[in-house]
């Protein structure tokens, strides 16, 4: 967590403007800094008494030079240093996530695969540290920071020698050594080399797996004695991991594996720019901590209406709304049955099928359900999904070779999280319902997950995209689209990779809350992956006048804009951007692909690029037959998500027919969940495939749309990774 600068703190160190305090230790203070180009850094400034010691400066200089040679994606890189300054300083890349110690303390021990993946990445980091001639000397949970794309090992040996490793440092976990090697515990300085780091890593991984240090806690002398003489406590560690940790925790340094050997021995794959290896509660903690600490939301937000008395109130309202969303996210993992149900809610539910259609469906046999917003704010998307699904069922029933008949039952939840669980209960209580498409939005999806999970009824989400929905403890969920984070990848790559933008501008609108933060974070990663440092700005919720923000960004040399927010704000931003004469690359996420944007922006919307998880079937050759059939059936062009719902129903039908052909029966719900999660299907919109363990979509499926002549024009596939 950050804290405000003290009056005695400097405002700048070399090329870094200091913005806040990150922490203070025995040798100095660590600040949050930012370069003039917008890059963030953790800047460690050494205290004067150490700076006055020539030997200290010499050691510091040698270790800075060595640290610059450390190259690993899992070790925080040095971005600048001056050991000869009056106050020697060192800058490393800033990681906004929580430490491993904080994550385990808040969320409990990590699952076995997570521990092994973590060990593999940290072993790779230590291999790079050792290859650079360094010994870390302080591998502990507090020195491992968790980020969206993996952990980062920090503070590797800087300004420390083997002789001055602190064995009673106050910043150790629970005030005890806990993670020291026997060599360190006995102050055998000359023997404290690479194997000492491996022992400490073994302690760290044991802590991650069990939530406790392997040599216990208590009095320092007793703990150090146990470290040197006793066997580690690995009770609760899975057998595969325990064997490897026992080697790391050998008393004899010569018997421990090297970092490279440990990396090779841990075969679990490291994450590929995803958080899939971490438990969902830790992912949420990373997101929340990043929201609070990361520069983009919190560092120098541009207050275009700073003189207005309404701004603090708006920001306070946003903070309260964010807190409510976070509480809801945490509650969504359990049984969320909201107040406001009962007789009134049940009476308000509208079954979109007529009584005759219901009777016909029952006579035909098995049913596919559609839970959707058919009357609320997102009714256009809900209606499109219901229509696409119904067309797929009708076409199947028209086939002469069909092995059975299908019905389709659509229920309206109005897009209300309070009403949605009652709709889910109707579907789960109907044993003829084999699978359900929906709901339409993220909040309603979170509200119904417990109900569908309890019944093990497959729930296939066509439009929701929040990153916390697909997770291992949701047993029946499948995401039929890439998540919002992956859909936001083009926001970084479109300006940085496709237009070679020298200074991309990155704007987060706080009106969009968590969605805006996810979009801006992923865009930031994508830009930096191509060597572009964005110029970030954040604006208060519901900002009316973007002109001062735009003027500031253009003055800084911004030559492209990635807007991260909702359609309403994007319309105002587009108008003000056009008024400033800017016509370069402009891109926004899926939430902006809404008629409200073009209606609000008018001519200023022309040329904007949007990234989305759906297609316009009228512009996709493979969907020509579908588009024609849809127009014939509904006397209108298909809306967004209609073709995707059509695809998903045909995916379900594919699995039902295949199982019926082999077993001469329709699969039960539990079996169908497994079949769907292991399935692959080439739809008219995109390929479909899922991760079997959590139902996460894994087949690409991101598309560009551009505003032309006041309408959205489908362009084609867009990148979903960098």
Alpha-carbon separation of residue 154 from 61, 137, 289, 497 (angstroms): 18, 11, 17, 30
Alpha-carbon separation of residue 677 from 449, 509, 688 (angstroms): 16, 36, 10
Specify the pairing of strand 535-539 against strand 477-479.
unpaired
CA atoms of 465 and 381, how far apart (whole Å): 14
Query: What is the full DSSP assignment across 357-399?
Result: HHHHHHHHEEEEEEEE-SSSTTHHHHHHHHHHHHHHHHHHHT-
Q: Is the omega angle on the peptide bond into residue 100 within 30 degrees of 0, that is, cis?
A: no
Q: CB neighbours of 508 closer than 8 A, spacing ≥ 6?
A: 296, 297, 516, 517, 519, 520, 536, 537, 538, 539, 564, 565
Specify the pairing of strand 609-612 against strand 702-708.
antiparallel
HSE, CB side, 13 Å, CA atoms: give it for residue 114: 26
Question: How far from each other are the two terminal CA atoms of the chain, in whole angstroms?
Answer: 29
Q: List, in sequence order, the alpha helices (H) in 303-378.
A: 310-331, 342-348, 355-364
CA atoms of 106 and 283, how far apart (whole Å): 12
Kindly list the catalytic residues: 138
Specify the pairing of strand 405-412 against strand 433-437.
unpaired
For the record, the structure tokens of 163 come out as: 């002789």
Beta-ladder partners of 153:
75, 144
CA atoms of 291 and 611, how far apart (whole Å): 23
For the record, the structure tokens of 154 come out as: 């920090």
Give the single-character DSSP code of 690: B
For the record, the structure tokens of 624 come out as: 């020509």
Asked whether 472 and 451 are in contact (CB, 8 A), the reply is: no
């Amino acid at each position: 967590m950050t804290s405000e600068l003290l009056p005695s703190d400097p405002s700048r160190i070399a090329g870094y403007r200091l913005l806040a305090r990150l922490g203070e230790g025995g040798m100095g203070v660590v600040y949050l800094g930012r370069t003039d180009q917008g890059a963030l850094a953790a800047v460690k400034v050494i205290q004067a008494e150490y700076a006055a010691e020539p030997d200290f400066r010499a050691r510091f200089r040698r270790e800075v030079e060595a640290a610059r040679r450390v190259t690993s994606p899992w070790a925080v890189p040095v971005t600048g240093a001056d050991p000869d300054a009056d106050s020697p300083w060192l800058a490393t890349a800033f990681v906004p996530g929580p430490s491993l110690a904080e994550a385990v303390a808040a969320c409990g021990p990590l699952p076995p695969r997570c521990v092994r993946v973590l060990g593999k990445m940290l072993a790779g980091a230590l291999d790079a540290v050792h290859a650079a001639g360094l010994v870390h000397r302080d591998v502990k949970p507090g020195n491992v920071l968790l980020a969206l794309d993996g952990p980062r090992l920090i503070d590797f040996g800087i300004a420390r020698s083997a002789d001055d490793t602190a064995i009673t440092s106050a910043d150790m976990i629970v005030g005890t050594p806990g993670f020291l090697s026997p060599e360190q515990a006995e102050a055998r300085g000359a023997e404290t080399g690479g194997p000492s780091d491996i022992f400490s890593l073994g302690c760290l991984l044991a802590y991650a797996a069990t939530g406790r240090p392997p040599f216990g806690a208590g009095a320092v002398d007793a703990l150090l004695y146990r470290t040197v003489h006793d066997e580690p406590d690995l009770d609760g560690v899975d057998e595969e991991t325990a064997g490897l940790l026992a080697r790391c925790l050998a008393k004899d340094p010569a018997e421990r594996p090297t970092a490279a050997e440990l990396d090779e021995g841990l075969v679990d794959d490291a994450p590929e720019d995803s958080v899939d290896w971490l438990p969902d509660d830790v992912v949420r903690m990373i997101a929340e901590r990043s929201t609070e600490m990361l520069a983009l939301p919190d560092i120098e937000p541009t207050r275009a209406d700073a003189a207005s008395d309404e701004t603090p109130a708006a920001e306070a309202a946003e903070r309260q709304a964010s807190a409510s969303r976070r509480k809801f996210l945490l509650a969504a993992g359990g049984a969320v049955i909201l107040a406001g149900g009962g007789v009134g809610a049940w009476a308000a539910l509208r079954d979109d099928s007529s009584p005759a259609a219901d009777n016909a469906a029952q006579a035909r046999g098995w049913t596919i359900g559609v839970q959707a917003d058919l009357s609320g704010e997102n009714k256009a998307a809900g209606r499109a999904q219901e229509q696409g699904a119904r067309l797929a069922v009708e076409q199947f029933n028209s086939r002469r070779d069909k092995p059975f008949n299908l019905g389709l039952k659509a229920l309206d939840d109005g897009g209300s999280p309070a009403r949605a669980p009652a709709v889910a209960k109707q579907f789960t209580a109907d044993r003829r319902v084999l699978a359900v498409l929906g709901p339409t939005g993220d909040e309603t999806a979170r509200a119904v997950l417990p109900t569908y999970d309890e019944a093990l009824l497959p729930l296939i989400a066509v439009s929701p995209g929040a990153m916390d929905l697909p997770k291992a403890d949701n047993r029946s969920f499948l995401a039929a689209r890439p998540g919002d984070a992956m859909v936001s990848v083009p926001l970084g790559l479109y300006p940085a990779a496709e237009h070679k933008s020298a200074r991309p501008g990155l704007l987060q609108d706080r009106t969009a809350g968590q969605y805006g933060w996810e979009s801006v974070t992923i865009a930031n990663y994508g830009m930096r992956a191509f060597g572009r440092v964005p110029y970030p700005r954040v604006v208060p919720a519901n900002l009316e006048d973007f002109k001062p923000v735009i003027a500031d960004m253009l003055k800084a040399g911004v030559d492209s804009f990635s807007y991260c927010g909702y359609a309403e704000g994007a319309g105002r931003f587009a108008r003000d951007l056009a008024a400033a004469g800017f016509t370069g690359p402009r891109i926004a996420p899926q939430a902006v692909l809404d008629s409200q944007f073009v209606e609000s922006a008018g001519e200023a919307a022309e040329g904007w690029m949007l990234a989305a998880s759906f297609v316009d079937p009228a512009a996709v050759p493979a969907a020509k037959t579908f588009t024609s059939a849809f127009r014939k059936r509904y006397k209108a062009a298909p809306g967004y998500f209609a073709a995707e719902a059509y695809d998903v129903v045909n995916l379900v039908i594919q699995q039902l027919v295949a199982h019926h052909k082999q077993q001469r029966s329709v699969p039960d719900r539990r079996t169908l969940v497994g079949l769907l999660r292991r399935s692959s299907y080439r739809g008219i919109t995109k390929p479909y495939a899922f991760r079997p363990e959590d139902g996460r979509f894994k087949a690409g499926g991101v598309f560009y749309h551009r505003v032309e002549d006041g309408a959205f024009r489908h362009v084609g596939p867009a990148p979903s990774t960098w």
